[in-house]
Amino acid sequence: MTVNFCTIASGSSGNSAFFAAGRTKILIDAGLSGRAIEQALAMRGANPRELSAIFVTHEHSDHIQGAGVLSRRYDVPLYMTAGTWGYVSHYKALGKLAEKNRVTALPGVPVVLADMAVTPFSVPHDANDPVGYVVECGGRKIAIATDFGHASPETAGHFFGADVIIIESNHDLNMLNNGPYPAHLKRRILSNTGHLSNVACGRLLADIYSPKTRHIFLAHLSADNNHPALAFQTVHDIMTAGGINVGGDVGLYVAERHRPSVMMEI
């Protein structure tokens, strides 16, 4: 069975990705308005009425903005960790939801849908029990994590052997250190629970790359502290120096901030 997928948007203004296999269609994160996600799905021939589930990585608004709207509008279950549910429930971040659509996901425990298994894994980020996800179907594996400050061995291991990797390449270190952000925000981004730099992303990919990996998407680029071409070149050069044939054995792409990628198939 094939898996079709696309990134819908990526960055601090909103994050979301779509995955489809057989009867199962899901979103991972819904950080744009419900209307914007509907329009993006329509651009790629997908129907939000067919969504099986929405999986949320953490409670920051650029990951949950449209989740409540879509859940109510299309009666879609929302999956997130207990820590994330605790935050969004306390602050009423998603509005009123049907109880049946409030589902707790446990790191390390697969959620088995009709034609897909989705497993959350813990990541180091300054949120309440944040996770990335591994999506598996018919021997295919996609690993996605777009907010984490460093690659712990546990986190890194989930990327190994993935056919597709969608991973944060948030900032260029020089741009961040010499840029206009206040010192406290720079410290947050650079911390072990902040965001992954281009260099750290490239080194991680060089370490965990396997011949099975066919596509890598660089995600969650900072609008102020990065450029798509810079992120691409930095990661490309580090992987190439590690003996990886980028552009030949594996495709490297940058997820666009405001528009969906092409629908890809594995």
What residue segments make up the domains of the chain, in order of their start? 1-107, 148-255
Residue 154 reports pLDDT greater than 90: no
Architecture of 1-107 per CATH? 4-Layer Sandwich (3.60)
pLDDT tens by residue, 237-261? 999 999 999 999 999 999 999 999 9
Exposure string for 103-124, b = 16+ CB within 10 A, e = fewer: eebebeeebebebbebbbbbbb
pLDDT category at 110 given cuts 50, 70, 90 is very high
Distance CA 180, CA 167 (A): 25
CB 161 within 8 A of CB 210: yes
What per-residue confidence (pLDDT) applies to 91? 86
What per-residue confidence (pLDDT) applies to 252? 98
Distance CA 9, CA 165 (A): 16
Q: In what order do the strands lie in the sheet with 24-28?
A: 102-104, 78-80, 53-55, 24-28, 16-21, 4-9, 264-265
Task: Please report which residue ranges of 61-157 form alpha helices under DSSP H.
Answer: 61-64, 67-74, 82-90, 153-157
- Chain centroid to CA 88: 19
The residue-averaged pLDDT of 89-93 equals: 89
Bridge-partner residues for 140, per DSSP?
Answer: 137
